[in-house]
Amino acid sequence: MNEGYIAQSIIDAILEVASKRNATKIKSATIVIGQLKFIDKEALTKAFKALSKKTAAEGAELKIKVKTAEFKCKNCNFQWRLNEELINARDVILLQLSPEYINQVIKCPICMSKNCEVLSGYEMYIENVEIII
């Protein structure tokens, strides 16, 4: 994914929030990124810093929270969170590239079924914008 495009989308959204609230400056923005999103957080932070220059978001802190991926077995209904220590790095990358790989990579730790679904891990959203009026 293009971190510059994502950073610009975040900036556009938080500037809109600031404008609606008559803010003069944005102090920080907190975003939540699912563990399975294929995003370079360092590149995103750098792009945010560069693209926010000469805007109300210049100098704002970009806070990134990672939301742990969660799965559910369609066979026995067991729900669990991804533990990267129990899955190899290649498989994590496959999941980051596409949810279609879930049945090749993930299996239920209870019944060993590969008939599982992703409950969370691919989301990305702005959780909070701290502004100065």
State pLDDT tens for residues 31-45: 999 988 888 899 999
**Number of other CB atoms surrounding residue 36 within 10 Å:** 24
Model confidence at 85, in pLDDT bands (50, 70, 90)? Answer: low
- For residue 91, pLDDT beyond 90: no
Q: Which of 37, 129, 28, 35 is nearest to 6 (CA)?
A: 37
| 37/28: higher pLDDT | 28
Model confidence at 83, in pLDDT bands (50, 70, 90)? Answer: confident
In the chain, where the domains are located: 3-67+122-132, 70-119
Q: Give the class (CATH, top level) of 3-67+122-132.
A: alpha beta
- Cα dist from 38 to 16, 21, 49, whole Å: 26, 32, 20
Interval 86-105 mean pLDDT: 70
The strand pair at 25-34 and 70-73 is best described as unpaired
Predicted confidence at residue 84, as pLDDT, reads: 64
- Which H or E element spans position 62? strand 61-67
Predicted confidence at residue 97, as pLDDT, reads: 67
